[in-house]
Amino acid sequence: MASKGIEADEGKIGIATRVFDEMSNFNLSPNCATYNALIEGHSLEGNFEEALRLMDIMEQGEPQPNEVSYGAILNGLCKHAKFDLARKLFERMKAKGMGFSCIPYTEMIDGLCKNGFFNEAIQMLNEMFQEAFQLKDEMASFGITSHDVAESAMVRGLALCGKVEEAILLLDNMLRMRLVPTIATFTTLMHMLCKENNVVEALKLRSKMELCGLKLDVIAYNVLISGLCADGDIAAAFELYQEVKQNGLWPNATTYTVLLDALLTEGNSTFIGDVLLKDLKARGIISCDWDGGIDQYHKALLITMERLKYLQKRRRKWC
């Protein structure tokens, strides 16, 4: 008699394992879903020795592991930055002649790109990108087209390690293939361009984003507002601030902090500052008054900056 499968959520794997061990006492045979649930649970907890042991049992009998079985371990290995083991498992899948879809490739590409930048040295990161591009070529050799998630991960990874030109080329290739990059992908690229003081190109990306039918969120707006302020164009940054409100979005602490900091540094627009202060007062963030005099105006800006820093430090979700 086959079981209908058991769930092995992260943190409950011990209970699931005990249930699995007792199944034979009730003449129950674990099915593929049962094995997959346990494999996923062990992989999430980083217990790859047990996950691979279960995989060995499946490979030696019935039921045979499927793509979900391998994908669960691949996902866990990539999340734990165990790329050597992930690659070996990937080769193991190919050696068994399994039919491929995008899932295992995406797990590898996403893991290599995301994990590399934040956890490894630049040299290791570049090696990971070589692996990622190699995987991408292998996908093409199997006649598989990588979907939006895999390509987006590649773009973000390239941008984050400073390969912005290459990232833009890959993004343009996605658009030619009618793949839609994620909002986070566009935002990451715009952020890196602004860091390079290339706000003009960042704004061009905004246009490409809108052509894809994507709308900027507050984070994306903040990236552009910050870039424009750093470029000394507070007026253009303020136009984006007004656009945020017109589009029904709520400017957050970062939005106001960036704009107010630019005003305190440049000090060339009491009109913009007055609008920001009135908006913040209307939202109950500040309660100070100013009489229109320049001294009172600057004092209000400073008080507001301190208030915003306090709220950010306390992680107050006021917007």
Give the per-residue pLDDT at 243: 97
Tokens read off for 308? 């915003």
Contacts of 57 (CB under 8 A, 6+ apart): 35
Distances in Å between the alpha carbon of 246 and those of 206, 210, 224? 17, 16, 16
What would the two tokens of residue 170 be? 């890959």
Residue the block writes with tokens 């390239």: 158
- Residue pLDDT, tens place only, 122-162: 333 344 455 556 666 666 665 555 556 667 877 887 888 78
Residue 103 CB contacts under 8 Å (≥ 6 apart), including other chains: 67, 71
pLDDT in tens, 290-303: 766 677 777 888 88
**Residues whose CB falls within 8 Å of the CB of residue 228, separated by 6 or more in sequence, listed in order:** 199, 234, 236, 237, 240
Residue pair 132/157 in contact by the 8 Å Cβ criterion: yes
Chain position carrying tokens 């301190």: 306
Query: Could you tell me the domains of the chain?
Result: 1-93 (1.25.40.10), 100-215 (no CATH), 225-319 (no CATH)
pLDDT at 20: 67
Closest CA to 152 of 194, 119, 110, 111: 110
Nearest to 80 by CA among 110, 52, 45, 106: 45
Q: What share of the chain is helix, strand, coil (3-state, %, to 5)?
A: 70, 0, 30
**Which residues of the chain have a pLDDT value below 50?**
1-7, 10, 116-128, 319
pLDDT reported for residue 108 = 65
63 preceded by a cis bond (ω within 30 of 0): yes
d(CA 153, CA 102): 13
Rounded to an integer, what is the distance from CA 110 to the centroid of its chain?
10
